Amino acid sequence: MTSVWSSPERPAYPHQALAVVLQVKDARLHVMLWRRAGEPFAGAWALPGGPLLPEETLGASVGRQLASKVEVAQLAHLEQLETRSDPHRDPRSRTVATAYLGLIPSDLDPVLPEDTAWHPVDAPPETAFDHGSIVGSALERLRAKLSYTNVAFALAPPAFSIAELREIYVAALGYEVTATNLQRVLLRRGALEPTGEMAASGRSGGRPATLYRFCTTGLEVTDPFAVLRPPSSRRS
């Protein structure tokens, strides 16, 4: 008897694992892309990724694909984002793709291959397939989680001033937040703690800033009902 899973009405389509890797660099949020050498979309920028091997899990596949572009240990956070199955997303044939969201702390400087580069998410290049839309989904996920979790630990260095943390939030959210409110909210939620050290004084002198760190370096929900919104969307 023929299995329903192998019948002509239920073909097996190629499956890919993709990664949207984000990092705050020079006060702007960047995404890691590589330039395609072959068709389709030769010369266009694309997300790191490739085919899922027969005996491979999605997690193992995305780790293998990323290892060719960046040191995987530098990712402070990696989570499954979404699966794309539009029949026309690949002009060659139908291909299903599962994307992951990865975050790298701002104090690291990964060595990238020659075909790979960082691009600001607010000024992206032309991308292959539906990869630009997938980056958009990753931004939505990150910005939502910045509201109700401690996910910023994966974008921040091990120790930071509140001003430095504010810069990371502004870069990731895409709108202004105040250092005072950010400090108040994160301390109230128990997400931050002082390191007991002070930042070095700048050229202008002044009182050294207190250094903080995230209490945990694993994803936690800190306020399930919180929503961060741009100032213009808040009620007066």
Domain at 127, CATH number: 3.90.79.10
Residue partners of 79: CB distance under 8 A and separation at least 6: 100, 101, 219
Residue 12: what pLDDT? Answer: 77
Residue 62 lies in a domain: yes
Q: Distance between CA 43 and CA 107 in Å, rounded?
A: 30
Range of the domain at 17: 13-146
Q: What is the CA radius of gyration of the chain?
A: 20
Give the pLDDT confidence score for residue 99 in this predicted structure: 98
Q: Which pLDDT value is given to residue 235?
A: 46
Amino acid sitting at position 97: A
Of 129, 146, 163, the position where a domain reaches its end is: 146
> Which pLDDT score is estimated for 230?
76
| C-alpha span between 142 and 235 (Å, rounded) | 24
At residue 73, the pLDDT reads 95
Six-digit token pair at 40?
């389709």
Residue whose entry in the numeric block shows the structure tokens 């979309």: 41
Same domain, residue pair 64 and 169: no
What is the reported pLDDT for 200?
81
pLDDT along the chain (236 residues), means of 10: 52 90 98 96 97 94 95 97 96 95 98 97 96 98 96 98 98 96 95 94 73 97 80 53
Structural domain includes residue 134? yes
> Is 159 within a domain?
yes
Question: pTM for the whole thing?
Answer: 0.91
Are 139 and 59 in contact, with CB atoms under 8 Å apart? Answer: no
| CATH number for 227 | 1.10.10.10
